[in-house]
Chain A
Amino acid sequence: MSASKSVLRTCLNTRQPSLLPRVQCRHESTARRHRKLLALPEAPSYTPSTSAPSLIFNPPSSAPSVYHTPLKFLPKDDKRRQMYSQALSASSTAALRHKTSPVAAPGTPLSSASHLPPRPSAALPAPVRTPYNKKYHLTEAQIAEIRNLRLGDPDKWTRVKLAEKFGCSQFFVGMVVKVPEKAARVEAEHQSMREKWGKRRREAREERERRKVLWGRDL
């Protein structure tokens, strides 16, 4: 703790005239003292609590291997299910005794280990998009109305507007009714816009498409 106090002292002592530019100043009289001052204690995950030799497990944050099958994907008769449940019960009994380390709090890479099930004390992270349940609330009559509106005036009743009106997804509107003429017209418009692109923009878009294909390979 002495090192931390001295760091605090250096921070407090840096009082400078406001009009001068901020330059580095050391308030230790020798380089050796300053080096000693900056020798901070190690991270708590590296510091063993006891003097006895102990195992330090501090993996770097990396994507978990796909060869570690998650618990849910294991077949019923796989031995690993039993081993995982034993590990889970062990970690839950330990969680009652110990609090989750601040290093392993949610939001940090250590919050859930790659191959072990998450700690019961750790909360699930926030979803990327708001989860929703499918409603299946539209009747045949409403679907026919969607069709009539869309075929009657496809420029006024776009997929977005119909989806808002009937409380369904745009994808569903597209499934229910297709207007190939409008699709061809819009595609021709987009194509004419694309032809106006310069070299840089075109190459950047093509590059982006190529990168997007690699998402599914997860390389």
Chain B
Amino acid sequence: MKRIPLSRCASQLQAAPSPRRPSCLYQAQRSIAARSNRTQARYQTTVSIPNDGELEVELPEEPSLVAGQTAKPRIRQTRWPTPLEKLPSPHPSSAERSVKLHALRSRLALPKRFPLQTLARTLVHPSADPNAAFNNASLSILGRHLLGYYTTEWLMCNYPRLPMAVVFSAVDAYIGPKALATVASEWGIEAAAEPGGEVDPGLLQFRRIQSGGDLPASLRRQAPWSWNVTTTHKIMKTDEFGSDSAAPSPHALSSTPVPMEEAAQSFVRALVGALHLQLGAPLVKRFFRDHFTSRHLDISTLFDFRTPTRDLSKLCAREGFEAPVARLISETGRLSRHPVFVVGVYSGKDKLGEGAGSSLDEARTRAAAAALKAWYLYRPLEVTVPSSTEGELDTSKWRPNMVDCGEVIV
């Protein structure tokens, strides 16, 4: 939970201001509509269903089910001529009555004008409801691209010198499938045991894999062809995390059982997509900053150098610095069982990095790795991400970002 709007909490504690309220319902609706034009905007992202009493859901009705329905209350029967169990996912009109959805909207500090029907739709994975008008496939495609765009631009503007492999793993750590599943569980998303029309729409709807069952063929990891393992291939052909093969499209997963991680990540992506459609880009950027960029990731732990000393001398030669020299800054217990050497790598009179180790070679290698990290983890002081100037006419705040010439290739 990030922020609780205080006004909402306070109004819960107060008594209802009944004398001010107009007694006529239509008048009240008109006054609300007059106050803000935004509430007039269309709420529903699902296909609109006329909800005026004679709602009919077209489904093949079986005589036994119709006979079994006579036990239900009469009012219910007039509103729902088909049993709810026959629907693949909860009906959009039941979203307003769901306590879970109200709680989720408040927990995420989303404004009231974000409709609960849309929020309910983001929770329906295509494996539960193959109908593209009711599941979150299209929204999650949009949300995935938005998340990838915002994360990559934030990383590349803040750390312009990162090597591509580190960019891939950092993006994966921020918005990868595992990270999104963790985010969803931190938001308190619970999964329905089995999707269906009678389930609370505040639960994540997807078809589970039976215990002991295999992953669907589209989600199974395939070994790449030997000519498809280059970084260029990963940039051009696969997803934003540099996987070996591209992830399956959400539409391809309809009616196949999926693991919960897949359903949870599609929910988070679909929520971002729905927020973008309903509330606009500035709010989505704030949402992204609050829920994704605010997470701490130590990028320096993502590096793995095989030959750091060679890389560093190549780097110094490329940039025109003096060749790096390892110098022993301090040592203790050279003849003992546990010696410690502190070695610094110097280029001319400047110290580039420092490392400690139990042998001279270890300390030297660590110092070179630290120096390379210091090069790659350079962070400009002032950063304006390109998306911050979207739709603004005033470009005086724009500072061009640094574009580095690339990583060291030995």
**Chain A interface (Cβ < 8 Å from any Cβ of B):** 63-64, 66-75, 78-80, 107-109, 111-112, 114, 117-118, 124-129, 131, 212, 215-219
Contacts and interface: CB of A to CB of B under 8 A. Distances in A.
B203 interface: no
Contacts of A128: 326-328, 343, 360, 364
B304 interface: yes
B7 to A, nearest CB: 39
Contacts of A124: 327, 346, 349
A215 B370 CA distance: 10
Greatest chain B CB density within 10 A among A70, A72, A78, A79 is at A72
B65 interface: no
A69 B308 CA distance: 17
Given A66-B300, A71-B350, A217 B369 contact: yes
A129 B303 CA distance: 26
30 contacts: A64-B353, A66-B374, A68-B374, A69-B375, A69-B379, A70-B350, A70-B351, A70-B371, A70-B374, A71-B350, A78-B380, A78-B381, A79-B381, A80-B381, A107-B330, A108-B330, A111-B329, A112-B344, A112-B351, A124-B327, A125-B328, A127-B327, A128-B326, A215-B365, A217-B304, A218-B303, A218-B308, A218-B355, A218-B366, A218-B369
Given A71-B350, A108-B330, A219-B301, A66 B370 contact: yes
Interface residues of B, number: 48
A74 B369 contact: no
A177 B347 CA distance: 33
B354 interface: yes
Q: Say whether chain B's binding surface is mostly helix, strand, loop, or mixed.
A: mixed
A72 B343 contact: no
A109 B379 CA distance: 26
Interface in B294-330: 300-301, 303-308, 321, 323, 325-330
Contact of B328 (A67, A70, A108, A126): A126
B354 A63 contact: yes
Given A67-B300, A69-B379, A109-B330, 12 more contacts: A69-B375, A70-B353, A72-B350, A75-B402, A78-B381, A118-B349, A125-B329, A125-B344, A126-B328, A128-B343, A215-B362, A218-B308
Q: Considering the complex of A and B, which 5 residue pairs feature the smallest CB-CB distances, nearest first?
A: A218-B369, A216-B305, A66-B373, A215-B365, A125-B327
B377 interface: yes
B350 A117 contact: yes
A67 B351 contact: no
A94 to B, nearest CB: 18
A157 B284 CA distance: 70
B357 interface: yes
Contacts of A117: 350
Given A66-B377, A127-B328, A218 B370 contact: yes
A184 B74 CA distance: 88
